[in-house]
A and B are shown apart, each in its own frame.
Chain A
Amino acid sequence: MPSLGADMTEGTLVQWNVKPGDRIKRGDIIAVVGTEKADIEVEVYETGTVEKLIAKPGDKLPVGTPIAVIQGEGAAPSAAAPPLPPAKPSERVKASPMARKLAQELGVDLEMIKGTGPHGAIERRDVEEAAAKLKEAAKPTEAPAPAAAGMRHAIAVAMARSNREIPHYYLSTQIDMSAALEWLQAFNQKRPIENRILPAALLLKAVARGLVLVPELNGFWADDRLKASPEVHLGVAISLRGGGLMIPAILSAQQKSIEEMMAALRDLITRARAGRLRSSEITAGTVTVTNLGDLGVETVFGVIYPPQVALVGLGKIMERPWAAARGMLGVKAVVTATLAADHRATDGHRGAQFLQTLDALLQEPEKL
């Protein structure tokens, strides 16, 4: 059972797309797994032949449980689940044995509890209090639909962990978008409607390029150190129409042209909302971008998706008074870009350099 998120502990096999004897190659979608958030298409990580299907549709299994046996090319058969992503820092939650036992009995997630014992360790009374709060929160009149409840729980766990573990710092800057929008308008004018590019894709492209130039914001905090990623797998926060959100990634975003970025974004949004995301897209994100400009939001103060070390927030592109030459005041299209970053991984100085870089890149959109 693959881990399809930093806080996923178990999943349900929804269906197999293969049968014993089928030839498969790396990247093929072999199954669909149900998580708290959505059904995810599971890709296989090696080329070979399906020898045996261990799990049956409907089976609910802990992460790491073998679900199939794949005979790799030139290798002995081995029981294997797709490998776990590098998404979860290795540090365990500090809790007394009694607290762990009680939490298991009462169905309480230790990740959600702030310990009051020595060095923040979770004790029995912390678990009892958490269980009481859960019981209170689960009163029938307030209970959302099961799917929505699962989604909210998954978001709650990830975001509570982020606020508990990550010392955030926030920076914000206003970027003149005139050059970028003029370039985009000219670019789109020559294209049929199906091939037009939205400003959101241009902004993503600039963010990906900026992260190549400031790589300390792209990667994970794990084992008490920053593990920067050479690839920019751009996690894009996508709101779902039924509520909640998914953060699938545009893989190797730094290599994509503006047209490829737009196509990737469209594809990702369409599949996220149709419940057809792939496992690699769910687990690979090295940084997250949240764009709430469509809802009129001016400034986004984001919460980092652990164990990533940064989140870039983008607001609405809006006309603002802007200082022009010789002390004159003009009106420009401006976007507010924010950075929420992990202070363990970087300092404000480096974060500011990223926003400065982003600004500079957007002044020369033709070079993106």
Chain B
Amino acid sequence: MTESDIQAAIFDGLRKIAPEADPRQVAPAANLREALDIDSFDFLNFLIGLHQRLGVEIPEADYGRLTSLSALLQYLAQKLTRAPAS
């Protein structure tokens, strides 16, 4: 899976919970939840969507690291490199 595939999965997930926003406009290092006004429920739903689409396990202890688009991309890319989705 390429970085652009992962980015597409992230953007699709964000569009589902914040349909009025354009995630492409969010700066890579910006706080994603603040930028798109995402509450903890929507954020959990977003992570569930990524887990289901990419097959990546996301432990609760890692939630705090996934604050920005760049952090998410890096995290998911590392996970997929280690354990590619079937």
A residues lining the B interface (CB < 8 Å): 185, 188-189, 193-194, 196, 198-200, 239, 241-242, 265-266, 269-270, 294
Contact = CB atoms under 8 A, between A and B. Distances in A.
B80 interface: no
A239 B37 CA distance: 11
Nearest to A201: B41
Contacts of B51: 193-194
Interface of B: 18-20, 33, 37, 39-42, 44-45, 47-48, 51, 57-61
Given A189-B60, A241-B18, A198 B41 contact: yes
Given A193-B47, A199-B40, A294-B33, 14 more contacts: A185-B61, A189-B59, A193-B51, A194-B48, A194-B51, A196-B60, A198-B41, A198-B44, A200-B40, A241-B19, A242-B20, A270-B45, A294-B39, A294-B40
Contacts of A266: 41, 45
Q: Top 8 A-B pairs ranked by shortest CB distance? A: A294-B39, A188-B60, A193-B51, A269-B41, A294-B40, A193-B48, A198-B40, A194-B48
Contacts of A189: 59-60
- Chain A contact residues: helix, strand, loop or mixed: helix
B6 to A, nearest CB: 17
B32 to A, nearest CB: 13
Contacts, number: 36
8 contacts: A188-B60, A189-B60, A193-B44, A193-B48, A198-B44, A241-B19, A241-B37, A265-B41
Contacts of B57: 193
Contacts of B61: 185
B65 to A, nearest CB: 15
Contacts of B41: 198, 200, 265-266, 269
A184 B42 CA distance: 19
A45 B19 CA distance: 35
Contacts of B39: 239, 294
Nearest to B47: A193
User: By CB atoms of chain B within 10 A, which of A198, A200, A242, A265 has the most?
Assistant: A198
B42 to A, nearest CB: 8
Contacts of B18: 241
Given A185-B60, A189-B60, A196 B20 contact: no
Nearest to A191: B60
